[in-house]
């Protein structure tokens, strides 16, 4: 579904990703780990199409089943979303004066229009969203509040997963969705993601902690360091990192690079 | 049509000119011109005296220089002070209007002919400062509501006009109001009798057509004890390379327990992208809460004019009276706006609310200027002001000048202000949810203006949202 070759990305002229290779298939769950400053959030944002992250080399191919490859780098952020790419933000943004439900419906309908699916009117959509809200145990009063305004950290993260539930993306990037969550909120968010993953979509989680992976079991764990994936393994890799830290694995990989 | 013209037409769709025969005075201003206007309109003598007194004052005054706007000096002798569409015969019904004029208003989305009229709104159509007539009059008459052109009001109810004319905006109040008082041609007159809640909204639609004529409308609205009215005002003008002066005066009076909601969507032509042409909108609007417990609300969406100089204000004279000012001012291109309000607390327990939202784009300048004045007599006065500015691009500016003058220690005054920029992060967030950049910007801007838009009558608020979106579309391409 996603095939990334030799990706180089700069922000304000400073190279962050330096030759990243990555592949993901339908039905897979990937975890991206790595020390601070290794380029994890950059990876998430560049896939979603943030205009400040400039791709200087490499290719990102995105393929929907039975369809031809799409050169993702040629698409703007909104076009990628319409093709089924989703980013759950590490720091969700506040939009004062815009109600959550209006925002969700505009987003939902704009994606439906693109995919040739019929749009929903206000009352249909309210029912639809209320149903989806249960996935993250979201009180429906949140729907009429302004987008993320005055939300607690946990509420903001739940709101991201609610958006994922509403838009049912094919490729979801969760950028540190677990950070700042208490145990109960973490369980709710993780349960939500588990209910949303299926054989047709792929989930890529950026995280610092093994804890999240206790709830959402990854098929692959990758270590990102200095802008490259330096090691890939199964869930046991995350356990090893939890016990040993990054030093050992980084030392191994630097040997390989040299 | 070449592509440049096409583009311009998309930018301002009201920019057409109607070819209509008009009755026009020679350029320039002197006592003879004033007498000519008064005579043309067969006015009562008190009006002529009012005009001449105003002219005497005006001659000694000079244009205000304190606003944050720059423009070349206006030659007041190079303006036509009277221009009226020529009537082929006396009009008894709007359906007898020149078809060209009817077509003009249809094109503007304001159908005046009997079969197409909008129900639920009475419309007074003003073309180059002359009222063409008012729709839904019968409905209003049933309730004793008087809503007509100012000239007609002078014929039918001169005693009411004589009592209130100049009682809110005195003859020599400021340079442009004095000029208006000397040369005003027409406008709307409205009187809501005691205890009547107007069952339909009243609306005046202003259209400038003549390139060289100044626009000097006069509106007077009286709400008697316990009455209520929603009043709406819309404005458009053709595109000319020259600037047109629009210096209107609006006076509102609310007696005991009366309530007036006055809403404006102003979309005069604002000039081309190089700043050429456009309307100078120099307007004096003021309401007097004369009675106890009375209320006046100004709601404005200012999206046009090359220069706006306008401060709809409230004089809170009656005890427990309240005033409100809700404003969205959008500037783009090379537009300049210096707008705001004055709340003058005189009576006891008077309250005022100010919510101002300024949006600046391109190279425009957007100023909020507001004054809250509490006189010694105003025991327990309260004011809440909130002034927010949003910058859409780098070369524009937003400035806030709040003035307070408190002469009574029991007053409670709150002021909040903020300046925001549409952030790249907000845009990216919305775009990453499949919303196009254009839609994302209008979503953010509409959210920003929500507190004001929701004060507008529904039909007007839909129009306002569309207008702001269309204006911003040209700025963010």
Q: State yes or no: pLDDT of B2 exceeds 50.
A: no
A78: chain B residues, CB-CB within 8 Å: 431-437, 440
The per-residue pLDDT for B104 is 67
Q: How confident is the model at residue B120 (pLDDT cuts 50, 70, 90)?
A: low
Distance (Å, rounded) from C-alpha A133 to C-alpha A112?
19
Give the least confident one: B254-258, B274-278, B356-360.
B274-278
Q: What is the DSSP letter of A137?
A: T
Query: What residues of B are in contact with residue A163 (Cβ under 8 Å)?
Result: 433
Beta bridge partners of B383: B352, B413
Is the pLDDT score of B87 beyond 60? no
User: Which residues partner with B176 through β-bridges?
Assistant: none
Q: Is A20 helix (H, G, I), strand (E, B) or coil?
A: strand
Express each pLDDT in B418-452 by its tens digit.
Answer: 888 888 889 999 999 999 988 898 899 999 999 99
Under the banding of pLDDT at 50, 70 and 90, the label for residue B277 is confident
- For A19-38, the pLDDT digits (tens) are 999 999 999 999 999 999 89
How far apart CA B422 and CA B391 sit, in angstroms, is 7
pLDDT in tens, A176-224: 999 889 999 999 999 999 999 999 999 999 998 888 999 999 999 999 9
Share of chain B above pLDDT 70, in %: 82
Alpha-carbon distance of A153 to B254, in angstroms, equals 49
Of the partner residues A48, A52, A114, the one whose CB lies closest to the CB of residue B432? A48
Average pLDDT over residues B148-175: 93
Cα(A75)–Cα(B100) distance, rounded to whole angstroms?
49
Nearest by CB to A96, which of B430, B437, B448?
B448
| B436 to A110: CB separation less than 8 angstroms, yes or no | yes
pLDDT surpasses 90 at B228: yes
Which candidate, B443, B431, B436, places its Cα nearest to that of B390? B443
How many CB atoms are closer than 10 A to CB B78?
Answer: 12
pLDDT classification of B252: cutoffs 50, 70, 90: very high
Pairwise CB contact (< 8 Å): B434 & A81: yes
**Residues listed for chain A:** 258
- Longest distance between any two alpha carbons in chain A, whole Å: 61
pLDDT at B269: 82
Gap from B418 CA to chain A (nearest CA, Å): 13
Give the mean pLDDT of B375-393.
94
Considering only A234-248, B21-35, B218-232, B245-259, which range has the smallest mean pLDDT?
A: B21-35
Q: What are phi and psi of B320, to 5 degrees?
A: 60, 15
Pairing status of strand B121-127 against strand B130-134: antiparallel
Would strands A171-175 and B243-246 be described as parallel, antiparallel, or unpaired?
unpaired
pLDDT of amino acid B165: 96
Mean pLDDT of B328-355: 95
Token output for B450: 């929500």
Provide the pLDDT for residue B139: 80
C-beta of residue A48 within 8 angstroms of C-beta of residue A87:
yes
Which residue from B minimizes the CA distance to A76?
B431
Is the Cβ pair A76, B437 closer than 8 Å? yes
Worst-scoring range by mean pLDDT, A100-114, B368-382, B412-426, B427-441?
Answer: B412-426
Which residues 18-77 on chain A approach chain B with CB closer than 8 angstroms? 48-52, 76-77
Question: Beta-carbon neighbour count of residue A245 at 10 Å?
Answer: 11
pLDDT of residue B25: 79
Which pTM does this prediction carry?
0.83
Given a cut of 70, whether residue B96 has pLDDT beyond it is: no
> Which residue bears the tokens 């079969």?
B115
Q: Are B296 and B251 in contact (CB under 8 A)?
A: no
Average model confidence (pLDDT) across chain B: 85
Q: Which helix (H) or strand (E) holds A125?
A: helix A122-133
| Spatial distance between the Cα atoms of B131 and A51, rounded to a whole number of angstroms | 53
- Beta carbons of A3 and A40 less than 8 angstroms apart: no
Q: What is the pLDDT of residue B6?
A: 41
Q: How far apart are CA A41 and CA B190, in angstroms?
A: 63
Task: Please give the pLDDT value at position A41.
Answer: 93
Q: Best-predicted range by mean pLDDT among B75-89, B260-274, B299-313?
A: B299-313
When pLDDT is averaged across residues A125-149 and rounded to a whole number, the result is: 91
Interface probe, candidates A52, A89, A106, chain B, greatest B C-beta count within 10 A: A106
**ipTM for the complex shown:** 0.95
Residue A39 to residue A11: CA distance in whole angstroms? 11
Residue of A nearest to B454 (CA): A97
For chain B, say whether A158 makes contact (Cβ under 8 Å): no
Nearest-CB residue to B432 (from A49, A103, A114): A49
Asked if the model's pLDDT at residue A93 lies above 90, the reply is yes
What pLDDT is attached to residue B9? 42
pLDDT band at B407 (very low <50, low <70, confident <90, very high): very high
| C-beta neighbour count of B190 within 10 angstroms | 26
Query: Mean pLDDT of all residues in chain A?
Result: 91
* CA pair distance B323, A68, nearest whole angstrom: 63
A45-90 pLDDT, tens digit each? 999 999 999 999 999 999 876 677 888 888 999 999 999 999 999 9
Q: Other CB atoms closer than 10 Å to residue A131's CB: what's the count?
A: 11
Q: How many residues are given for chain B?
A: 477
Q: For the domain A26-50+79-257, what is the CATH superfamily, name and number? A: P-loop containing nucleotide triphosphate hydrolases (3.40.50.300)
pLDDT tens across B179-204, in order?
A: 999 999 888 899 999 999 998 888 88
| CA separation for the pair B251, B233 (Å, rounded) | 14
Which among B379, B370, B371 is positioned nearest to B346, based on CA atoms? B379
- Give me the pLDDT at residue B27, please: 84
Question: Could you tell me the pLDDT band of residue B212, with boundaries at 50, 70 and 90?
Answer: low
- Measured between beta carbons, the chain A residues lying within 8 angstroms of B443 are 95, 98, 103, 106
Distance (Å, whole) CA A232 – CA A221:
6
Is A95 close to B450, i.e. CB distance below 8 A? no
Please give the residue of chain A at the shortest CA–CA distance from B439.
A106
Confidence of residue B10 (pLDDT cuts 50, 70, 90): very low
**Residue B229 corresponds to which tokens in the numbers above?**
């009215």
Q: Provide the residue ranges of all domains of chain A, joining segments of one domain with +.
A: 26-50+79-257
A248 band by pLDDT with thresholds 50, 70 and 90: confident
């Amino acid at each position: 579904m996603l095939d990334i070759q030799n990706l180089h990305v700069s922000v304000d002229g400073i190279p962050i990703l330096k030759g990243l290779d990555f592949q993901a298939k339908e039905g897979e769950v990937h975890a991206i780990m790595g020390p601070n400053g290794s380029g994890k959030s950059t990876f998430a944002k560049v896939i979603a199409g943030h205009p400040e992250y400039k791709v200087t080399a490499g290719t990102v191919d995105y393929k929907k089943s039975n369809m031809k490859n799409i050169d993702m780098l040629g698409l703007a952020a909104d076009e990628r979303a319409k093709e089924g790419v989703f980013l759950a933000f590490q720091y969700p943004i506040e939009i004062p004066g815009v109600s959550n439900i209006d925002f969700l419906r505009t987003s939902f309908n704009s994606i439906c229009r693109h995919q040739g699916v019929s749009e929903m009117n206000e009352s249909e959509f309210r029912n639809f969203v209320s149903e989806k809200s249960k996935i993250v145990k979201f009180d429906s009063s949140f729907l009429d509040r302004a987008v993320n305004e005055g939300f607690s950290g946990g509420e903001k993260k739940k709101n991201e997963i609610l958006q994922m539930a509403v838009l049912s993306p094919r490729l979801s990037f969760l950028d540190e969705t677990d950070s700042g969550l208490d145990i109960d909120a973490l369980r709710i968010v993780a349960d939500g993601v588990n209910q949303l993953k299926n054989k047709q979509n792929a989930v890529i989680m950026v995280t610092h902690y093994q804890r999240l992976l206790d709830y959402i079991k990854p098929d692959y764990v990758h270590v990102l360091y200095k802008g490259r994936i330096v090691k890939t393994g199964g869930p046991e890799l995350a356990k090893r990192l939890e016990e040993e830290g990054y030093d050992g694995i980084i030392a191994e990989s630097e040997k390989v690079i040299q | 049509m070449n592509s440049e013209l096409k583009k311009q037409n998309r930018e301002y769709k009201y920019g057409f000119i109607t070819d209509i025969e008009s009755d026009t005075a020679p350029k320039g201003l002197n006592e003879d011109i004033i007498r000519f206007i008064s005579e043309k309109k067969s006015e009562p003598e008190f009006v002529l005296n009012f005009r001449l007194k105003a002219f005497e004052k005006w001659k000694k005054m000079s244009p205000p220089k304190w606003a944050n706007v720059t423009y070349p000096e206006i030659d007041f002798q190079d303006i036509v002070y009277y221009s009226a569409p020529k009537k082929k015969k006396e009009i008894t019904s709007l359906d007898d209007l020149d078809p060209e004029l009817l077509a003009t208003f249809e094109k503007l989305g304001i159908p005046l002919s009997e079969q197409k009229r909008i129900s639920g709104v009475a419309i007074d159509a003003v073309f180059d400062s002359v009222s063409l007539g008012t729709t839904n009059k019968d409905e209003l008459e049933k309730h004793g509501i008087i809503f007509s052109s100012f000239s007609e009001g002078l014929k039918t109810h001169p005693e009411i006009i004589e009592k209130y004319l100049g009682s809110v905006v005195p003859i020599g109040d400021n340079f442009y109001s004095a000029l208006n008082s000397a040369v005003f041609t027409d406008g709307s007159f409205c009187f809501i009798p005691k205890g009547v809640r107007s069952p339909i909204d009243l609306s005046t639609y202003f259209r400038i057509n003549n390139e060289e004529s100044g626009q000097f409308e006069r509106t007077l609205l009286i709400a008697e004890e316990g009455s209520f009215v929603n009043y709406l005002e819309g404005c458009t003008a053709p595109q000319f390379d020259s600037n047109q002066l629009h210096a209107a005066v609006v006076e509102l009076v609310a007696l005991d327990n009366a309530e007036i909601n006055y809403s404006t969507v102003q979309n005069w032509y604002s000039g081309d992208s190089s700043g050429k042409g456009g309307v100078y909108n120099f307007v004096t609007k003021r309401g007097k809460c004369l009675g106890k417990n009375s209320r006046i609300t100004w709601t404005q969406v200012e999206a046009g004019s090359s220069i706006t100089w306008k401060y709809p204000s409230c004089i809170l004279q009656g005890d427990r009276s309240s005033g409100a000012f809700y404003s969205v001012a959008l500037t783009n291109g090379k537009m300049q706006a210096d707008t705001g309000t004055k709340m003058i607390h005189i009576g006891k327990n008077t309250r005022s609310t100010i919510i101002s939202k300024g949006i600046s784009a391109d190279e425009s300048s957007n100023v909020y200027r507001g004054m809250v004045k509490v006189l010694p007599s105003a025991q327990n006065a309260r004011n809440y002001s909130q002034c927010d500015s949003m910058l859409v691009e780098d070369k524009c500016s937003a400035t806030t000048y709040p003035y307070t003058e408190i002469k009574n220690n029991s007053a409670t005054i709150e002021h909040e202000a903020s300046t925001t920029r549409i952030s790249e992060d907000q845009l990216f967030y919305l775009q990453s949810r499949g919303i196009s950049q254009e839609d994302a910007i209008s979503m953010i801007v509409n959210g920003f203006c929500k507190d004001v838009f929701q004060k507008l009558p529904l039909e007007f608020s839909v129009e306002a949202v569309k207008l702001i979106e269309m204006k911003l579309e040209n700025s963010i391409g």
